[in-house]
Amino acid sequence: MEEIILENEIVKLRLVQRDDVEAITAAANDARIWEHMSVTLLSKEAVQNYIENAIKEREKGISYMFAVIDKKTDAIVGCTSFLDISFPHKRLEIGSTWYNPSVWRSAINTNCKFLLFRYCFEELQLNRVQIKTGHENYRSQKAIERIGAVKEGVLRNHMIRKEGIIRHTVMYSVILEDWTQLKAKFIGHLLKY
pLDDT of 192 over the 70 cut = no
Residues contacting 187, CB < 8 A, separation 6+ = 114
pLDDT score at 193: 43
pLDDT digits (tens, 9 = 90+) for 135-159: 999 988 998 998 899 999 999 999 8
pTM: 0.92
pLDDT score at 37: 85
pLDDT of 64 over the 50 cut = yes
pLDDT digits (tens, 9 = 90+) for 20-61: 999 999 999 999 999 888 898 999 999 999 999 999 999 999
What is the rounded end-to-end Cα distance, in angstroms, of the chain? 30
pLDDT digits (tens, 9 = 90+) for 87-126: 999 999 999 999 999 999 899 999 999 999 999 999 999 9
pLDDT of 191 over the 60 cut = no
pLDDT of 19 over the 50 cut = yes
Q: How far apart are CA 140 and CA 138, in angstroms?
A: 5
